[in-house]
Amino acid sequence: MSQVDFIAPDSAEKASRALLAAGARPLSGGTDLLVQLRAGRLPPGMIVDLKRIPGAVGIRQEVGGFVIGAATPGMTLSEHRALGLAWPGVVEAANLIGSTQIQGRASMAGNLCNASPAADSVPALVAARATCLIVGTSGRRMTPVESIAVGPGRTSLAPGEFVLEIHLPARPARSGDAYLRFIPRTEMDIAVVGVAVNLTLDDTGVVLDAHVALGAVAPTVLLVPDAAAALIGSKLDDAALDRLDAAARAACHPISDKRGTIEFRTKIAGVLARRAAVIAHGRAEKRS
Amino acid sequence: MSKRQHISAVVNGDPVEFLSAPGTTLLDALRDELGLTGSKEGCGSGDCGACSVILDGRLVCSCLVLAVEAEGRRVETIEGLADGGTLHPLQQKFLEHAALQCGFCTPGILVAAKALLDANPDPTESEARYWLAGNLCRCTGYDKIIRAVMDAAAELRQVRV
């Protein structure tokens, strides 16, 4: 492994100062970071463990929404009943990542800041309109999750900045979300395409508000307003789903690689958007 | 050279202390500093599960944990599974069902299976297979492994009644 130093600060401010050092990087679950370090893909530097910072691990409910600490593992998300009822799509997306062992460590903030275009939890967070609390040496700021990744493996975070919390907003009644991904097997793989849909319905089942996000079809996860507009005002009839399918496909600008071609990824984005919308709609109808 | 740090943790119920360089994995510390060589390194990248241990109640790959992260925490390894000379029911059922060939993956699978039965004493076969999806056996003996886990689960439920 690369030569590294390690500290586990007990405050966010100390962590931020430590992260100013050249090559310093934050550690939450380590399921990406340690693999990269062991493969020698990262230069030597300081590892700053976030898990001793108050609030970095755990989930709290606040003004109707949820605040999820940056280093909260996937298993903790799956055990939180209220979170799973309010945001089933976010939880299922996070829980698709890796094995049981990976779920014991891997966090959504790590998934976000690793900045893979195929990160499973990120489309679900984007569709959920999640925000994150960023701590830096000059203070704290809130920003939408989609502003973090700027390209594969690259983030907008300044030196000394890190994500401390992810915030999921308060949920209106009759809301539901869903995440689907395509992989060529049933488990333990990287998304070829991922789609998240988040809907709010009125009393008659008409879509009042919608958000659609796509993963693995562009250098970063995409929020697709045209796909959302295709659903708003509809009851998810075939015409609306056709419009959603077309809008999702139109937003794609993927690469061809060993996991899927441009044509395949584009086609599947439309198919998964339709299916995720139907699941989200069904969940919203059940949640009065 | 980074300075070695002093680590205090609880391993299989016993307090332990050791020195570790910051970049050393928990797996290497268990094997090389504490002499607990039951946990194996297969892939070293969190894919195979041969290094599975339970860290503060969570099943993890010890190859993806830094030893220094274990400061003040509880670690359970395969060496803590048997009760002295008495095998854990999972170990006994693995023997009865011949649920191993070369044995390299076995410690990790036993630890992962224990974590499963701690969380869910009555898993379906499908739940057991998904839970153990992160434990690879390259002798491809999965069928007997699953039978042994299901049989051990049934026996443990009998003991609890």
How does pLDDT run across B8-38, given as a tens digit for each residue?
999 999 999 999 999 999 999 999 999 999 9
What H or E segment, with its residue span, contains residue A213?
strand A207-215
Boundary of a domain, candidates B19, B49, B77: B77
A3 and B23 within 8 Å at the Cβ level: the answer is yes
φ and ψ at residue B158, rounded to 5 degrees: -60, -45
Report if residue B68 sits inside a domain: yes
Q: Is the pLDDT of residue B1 over 70?
A: no
Instruction: List Cα–Cα distances, B128 to A45, A100, B151, in angstroms.
Output: 40, 11, 12
For a pLDDT cut of 70, what percent of chain A falls above it?
99
How much is the pTM? Answer: 0.96
Report if residue B84 sits inside a domain: no
Q: Which amino acid is at A33?
A: L
What H or E segment, with its residue span, contains residue A81?
helix A81-86
**How far apart, in whole angstroms, are the C-alpha atoms of residue B32 and residue A159?**
36
pLDDT at A1: 60
Residue B1 forms contact with A (CB below 8 Å): yes
Q: If one looks up domain A191-286 in CATH, what number appears?
A: 3.30.390.50
For residues B136 and B42, the answer to whether their CB atoms sit within 8 Å is yes
Which residues form the domain of B18? 5-77
Mean pLDDT of A158-173: 97
**How far apart, in whole angstroms, are the C-alpha atoms of residue B142 and residue B149?**
11
Q: How far is A266 from chain B (nearest CA, A)?
A: 29
Tens digit of pLDDT for each residue in B135-147? 999 997 899 999 9
Give A18-66 as a DSSP string: HTTSTT-EEESS-TTHHHHHHTT-S-SEEEEE-TTSTTSS-EEEETTEE
For residues A129 and A144, the answer to whether their CB atoms sit within 8 Å is yes
Residues of A in contact with B69 (CB under 8 A): 8, 27, 30, 49, 51
For residues A99 and A75, the answer to whether their CB atoms sit within 8 Å is no
Instruction: List Cα–Cα distances, B140 to B24, B100, B101, in angstroms.
Output: 31, 9, 9
Closest partner residue to B64 (CB to CB) among A2, A30, A187 is A30
| Cβ atoms within 10 Å, residue A273 | 30
Closest partner residue to B2 (CB to CB) among A3, A49, A187 is A3
A102 and B55 within 8 Å at the Cβ level: the answer is no
pLDDT at A43: 81
Comma-separated ranges of CATH 3.30.390.50 domains in chain A? 191-286
pLDDT at A188: 87
Report if residue B49 sits inside a domain: yes
For residues A162 and A15, the answer to whether their CB atoms sit within 8 Å is yes
A39 and B59 within 8 Å at the Cβ level: the answer is no
Q: How far is B161 from chain A (nearest CA, A)?
A: 26
For residues A254 and A265, the answer to whether their CB atoms sit within 8 Å is yes
Q: Is the pLDDT of residue A269 over 70?
A: yes
* DSSP class of B88: P
Instruction: List Cα–Cα distances, A152 to A179, A216, A218, A251, in angstroms.
Output: 21, 10, 9, 18
Q: Which amino acid is at A18?
A: A
Residues of A in contact with B133 (CB under 8 A): 99-100, 187-188
Report if residue B17 sits inside a domain: yes
Note whether B133 and B96 are same-domain residues.
Answer: yes
Report if residue B82 sits inside a domain: no
* DSSP class of A279: H
Comma-separated ranges of CATH 3.30.465.10 domains in chain A? 60-168
Closest listed residue to residue A215, CA positions, set A168, A275, A272: A272
Give the residue from B41, B54, B60 with the most A CB atoms within 10 Å of its CB, the best one to mutate. Answer: B60
Residue B146 forms contact with A (CB below 8 Å): no
Burial, A62: exposed, middle or buried (Cβ in 10 Å; 0-12, 13-18, 19+)? exposed
Note whether B114 and B93 are same-domain residues.
Answer: yes
CATH of residue B98: 1.10.150.120
Note whether B140 and B96 are same-domain residues.
Answer: yes
Q: What is chain B's percent helix, strand, coil content, to nearest 5? A: 45, 20, 40
CATH of residue B45: 3.10.20.30
Report if residue B146 sits inside a domain: yes
Residue B39 forms contact with A (CB below 8 Å): no
pLDDT at A41: 86
**How far apart, in whole angstroms, are the C-alpha atoms of residue B155 and residue B8?**
36
Q: How far is A31 from chain B (nearest CA, A)?
A: 6
A102 and B134 within 8 Å at the Cβ level: the answer is yes
Q: If one looks up domain A60-168 in CATH, what number appears?
A: 3.30.465.10
ipTM above 0.90, yes or no: yes
Q: Is the pLDDT of residue A96 over 60?
A: yes
pLDDT at A2: 57
Residues of A in contact with B116 (CB under 8 A): 100
Closest partner residue to A35 (CB to CB) among B45, B59, B68 is B45
Q: Which residues contact A270 (CB under 8 A, 6 or more apart)?
A: A244, A245, A246, A248, A249
